[in-house]
Amino acid sequence: MSNKSFALSEDWVVVILGLTIIILALSGVIIPKPSFTWANVEDLSAKVLSLENLKSIGAQFALVYVTAIAGALLLGKNLKSLLIVFPIVMILTVFALILAGNESVKNYNLEAVIFSLAIGLIISNCFKLPQWFKDALSTELYVKIGLVLLGTTVIFGDILKAGMLGLVQALLVVVSVWYFAYWVCRKLKIDKEMSLMLSSAVSICGVSAAIATSGAIKGDSKKLSYVISLVLITAIPMMIFMPYIAEWLNLSQEVTGAWLGGSIDTTGAVVASGSLVGERALEISTIVKFSQNVLLGIAAFFISVYWSYSKSVDDETKKDKPTLKLIWERFPKFVIGFVFVSLLFSFVVTPEANAMVKDSLKSIQGLWFALAFTSIGLETNFKDLFKQDNKKPLYAFLIAQTFNIIVTLIIAMVLFNS
């Protein structure tokens, strides 16, 4: 069962779905925030597993399930597998939330997204999941809906302040890291197509940049899949360990957020790592990552220009001249949703209305992020890194990523160390 006659781009669907959830809340459809906090078995039974709390969890499930179905319909995707897979992802995610809610676990500052990711990774690397199951996972959709909802907690003045600094950082990082990564790739005699996709993935915004670059140059799908595997798998240790390195270096939340947002490749991993540090770090890391995302369309345009006139491409590819339209096509539209929601809650929504919906929307936002990381775990297999005989792209990626981490840290300390 699918709907192929009508489909929107994923980013616009995200904006529609995120705004619908917010409008429902502001209209009075407020789902109580479930509690996952417990200290012992008695607490677990009396609080988390109480009938009232289970009702709240069930209400959240109903909301996100219907939203996911609506998203699939708007995107023209197959519904049959989603109807089966999504409840499984939700059950695994709730289990992760319960584990993270234990007071002993909280003492180690381990967020639910870590458990979501770990559960998904254990399952995907110990069992062979069917392709139809993986195809039903919509990681990017869940992350982006959560990011639109994040706009309800970010004051617009913060966006302007951090956004200007973030844009400066993004320009410096993207240009320096992209050229370094491309130079390393060419030194290792990696072909131009793979070099362009890999350099964009490291320097701009991971999976989205790799896909945009592949689209701009009509890249090979197998090479694109390999680059995406590199991005997803290397993002996991960065997401987990960088917050602790930042704490060891005694970095402020602002500097840490800018460092995480500028160096971790996937938006979801940025959100998860920022959450481990604190709310301010989460805000800054998200805004900085958005600044890099905004450059995606411009980068895809210039890569198209280069590729169209490169001597290594065929005449048919050269006929597809890049236009300014390409910038708009590659521009991440969900950023518009985030900014609009921030404006709405900064200048339109009254403090009283905000107080009524704040806890509910923040809880739903966290649930979307947790669902996304369960999905990332389920679709990630470490064997993917070692499928190819040629390991040079892996070496180039790791060298470029190390350079990225160091350069971004230095720039973040200069710009955000107020």
CA distances 67 to 83, 203, 326, 361, 379, Å, are 12, 32, 29, 14, 21
CA distance 78 to 84: 11
pLDDT level of residue 278 (50, 70, 90 thresholds)? confident
Residue 314 contacts by C-beta under 8 Å, 6 or more apart in sequence?
A: none
- The pLDDT value given to residue 98: 94
> Coil, strand or helix: which one is 38?
strand
196 pLDDT higher than 60: yes
Average pLDDT over residues 289-302: 68
Task: List pLDDT tens digits, range 164-178.
Answer: 787 788 888 888 989
Proportion of the chain above pLDDT 90, given as a percent: 31
Task: List pLDDT tens digits, range 110-138.
Answer: 678 778 888 988 998 898 899 999 889 98
Q: Which two tokens mark 15?
A: 């904006």
86 pLDDT higher than 90: yes
320 pLDDT higher than 60: no
pLDDT level of residue 3 (50, 70, 90 thresholds)? very low
Average pLDDT over residues 302-321: 57
DSSP type of residue 2: -
Q: Report which of 281, 361, 373, 376 is spatially closest to residue 97, judged by C-alpha positions.
A: 373
Contact (Cβ atoms closer than 8 angstroms) between residue 317 and residue 307: yes
CA distance 11 to 23: 18
pLDDT level of residue 6 (50, 70, 90 thresholds)? very low
Q: In whole angstroms, how large is the CA radius of gyration of the chain?
A: 21
- The pLDDT value given to residue 371: 92
CA distance 199 to 230: 12
16 pLDDT higher than 90: yes
Contact (Cβ atoms closer than 8 angstroms) between residue 331 and residue 296: yes
Domain boundaries, the chain: 10-416
What is the residue whose two structure tokens read 């809650």?
A: 345
Average pLDDT over residues 54-63: 96
161 pLDDT higher than 90: no
pLDDT level of residue 25 (50, 70, 90 thresholds)? very high
pLDDT level of residue 187 (50, 70, 90 thresholds)? very high
Concatenated DSSP letters of 232-269: HHHHHHHHHHHHHHHHHTT--HHHHHHHHHHH-SSHHH
Task: List pLDDT tens digits, range 378-391.
Answer: 887 777 666 655 68
- CA torsion, ordered 316, 318, 321, 326, to nearest 10 deg: 80
84 pLDDT higher than 80: yes
- The pLDDT value given to residue 169: 84
- The pLDDT value given to residue 391: 80
317 pLDDT higher than 70: no
- The pLDDT value given to residue 109: 61
What is the residue whose two structure tokens read 């917010």?
A: 22
CA distance 67 to 17: 7
CA distance 270 to 143: 10
311 pLDDT higher than 60: no
CA distances 228 to 3, 40, 80, Å, are 27, 41, 26
